[in-house]
Structure 1
Amino acid sequence: MPTPISGHTALAGVLGDPVRHSLSPAMHNAALAELGLDWVYLALPAPAEELETVVRGLEALDCRGLNVTLPHKQAVARLCRSLSPLAERVGAVNTLVRHPEGGWLGDNTDVTGFLAPLRASGSSWHGRRAVVLGCGGSARAVVAALVELGCGAITVAGRSSARLEGLLSPCRSWAPQVQGLAWDSQTESLQHALAQADLVVNTTPVGMASATNPEAAQQSPLTLAELETLRPGSTVYDLIYTPRPTALLQAASARGCQSLDGLEMLVQQGAAALRLWSGLETVPVAAMRAAALAQLGGGNSRP
């Protein structure tokens, strides 16, 4: 049973814009109730122009910890007192932890969350080929995770040349196997990369449904010609989990591919963040997963 909110209840939450759709409050409040912690976790809208004010204000309010989602994963890094080695390498922050000397430590638990279902599959990814669709903050974490898995070749496909170079430039020192591909102008090159890939990861929002745009669920980041190049037996991992399955994963399954959506990534990155905030080694992952699925209406329907 949830601990009643009182004058002693501590605050945690997720910052984003928009953020009211987030599953994180249901997921974290279920875990907090099971742990018996007198905390409450809220979705906290934060427009870009107010981000610094919000982050400083929450520190003053003794907020215990924060998740950070779109579009702030890169901008919030500049507001941190320090960054974890992983967050510094990735260049994106999705978790703020109280710094012992004041301010915030910026960390990244997206890498842990992304890796969890791939490692649970029992497959070896060492030397395998991967294609990453998109070049935003989530793609940075995915590239770091794929390097950790030992992938031998990683192709990042992006529609914005400037953003693509912004991702690749800092990666070159620690990820020599990463190369970029201009998505719009090199269609044949992308098809060739997809045909060779053991793992394809979608980090774009294309295909994500919402209450205001349900038709988006019918979209796929890949064209029909690109989908037809997917190799049966390969794995397609879509970070989107609304709807379940996405149009991309439906098409991939029809091609004989293994499919993964982003719900388990959400659960596992949230559990990793809760460990950092609470100092606990064990948190109720099963309760977090169940709460997220319940919020999705039984699993048929990002942090």
Structure 2
Amino acid sequence: MTAISERPVVSARRLPAVLRAYVALTKPRIIELLLVTTLPAMMLAAGGWPSWGLLGATMAGGTLAAGAANVLNCWYDRDIDRLMHRTERRPLVTGEVTPPAALLFGLVLSVVSVALLYLATTPLAAFLAAGAIAYYAVVYTMVLKRHTRHSTLFGGVPGAAPVLIGWAAVTGSLAWPAVVFFGVVFCWQLPHFWALAMRFRTDYARADVPMLPVVATALSVGRQTVAWTWLTVAVSLLLWPVGASIGIGPLYTAAAAALGVWFVVEAHRLLGRIRRGDETRPMQLFHISISYMALLSVAIIVDVLV
């Protein structure tokens, strides 16, 4: 009788750990970064603050969609995750979640996210979310990541998709300001992720993943990082003339220029350290890139409201 009565208590104690494991599979920190670009895209589309109901539904649907893609990525990559120190504690590697359970979880999140966006926002937003999930889980994770150095380039499409989803959720269509903002996020991902890959180059090499820092020289990676950082800033400035009619003005442009200088200078500093043979410290650029995108999004929000 004692053993039987204790079982619910043991299960109750394990429940928080199980929930944390499933949440960890969704990669919450990556989701936060993706959602940073959704709100300014929605505000640009709405010309101000969208309704709370639409905002909540879009953010919830976007969170579930991004989580679904990340879970499916973890499910497929569980064999190489165990080889890399950065990922060796993920729930599928430690056994906290079984592969069949993770696959089911990812598929359920996919269906729920697309259904929510379809019912509560627009069919186009739902279609874009479904496409982003499929692209990240299949095209990037299963096809490109293990076979080409250009995986980060092509993988940037789903990473920038929240911009298009947010715009489509408001208008049911797409327009040039959304495309340009998509371009900003797409270009930004290259220096952002290459900096991370430089830091964990040994991990990727051990797992035989041909990330650019694994298959190219540090000097080549540094030069390409600088080039894409400049391109990111150039596209960000293009948002002013393209979005002038919907609220983008001098305030955003000044912020984009100032933030762009900061971003470009740090990229050149990384290249300089590489050329001198100093410690590269790529995570400095990685962290600055996050701040850059967050502050650029805030600048859009403020300019639209003002």
Q: Same fold (TM over 0.5)?
A: no
Find the structure with the greater CA-based Rg: 2
**TM-score of the aligned structures, taking structure 1 as reference length:** 0.32
| Higher relative helix content | 2
Which protein is richer in strand relative to its size?
1
Q: Which has the higher relative contact order, 1 or 2, with Cα contacts under 8 A spaced 6 or more apart?
A: 2
